Structure 1
Amino acid sequence: MIESIEKVKGSFFNSGQYQIILGTGLVNRIYNEVINIIGENNNADEVKYGNSFQRAIRMFSDVFVPIIPV
């Protein structure tokens, strides 16, 4: 039923998540509307995942993993 909606390009279930593929530019509009409805505004810049050591390791892996094939 979800895939029959006009702007939905597809959907699938992966790793315990139901994911919906939306048309270009639609994600930001839907996100803003959801934030307006639920009344929360969690700034992604303020959200920190893991302690400082874990963030440092993630930063180094983000830098070096793309150059491994070289």
Structure 2
Amino acid sequence: MSDLEAMVIDLQTRVTFQEDALNQLNDVVTRQDAEMLLLREQLRMLAERLADFMRQPSAGAGSPMDERPPHY
């Protein structure tokens, strides 16, 4: 085997490993993107619930921010 053939085989091997690494990274990024979309939606829903809760008149005397925690 000549030096040129050995270099070509080495380059082909490296390209194959790089393609595999890129595919794995792409899979990770795709999963993270889907998870971020889900988390954003959950955060939006929680913000809406909090806003609704803060707008409601409380059953007790005062706002929820003035209430003492249950361990007092």
Q: TM-score range by the shorter chain?
A: under 0.3
- Larger helix percent: 2
Higher RCO, Cα 8 Å, sep 6+: 1
Q: Which has the larger radius of gyration?
A: 2
Q: TM-score, normalised by structure 1?
A: 0.25
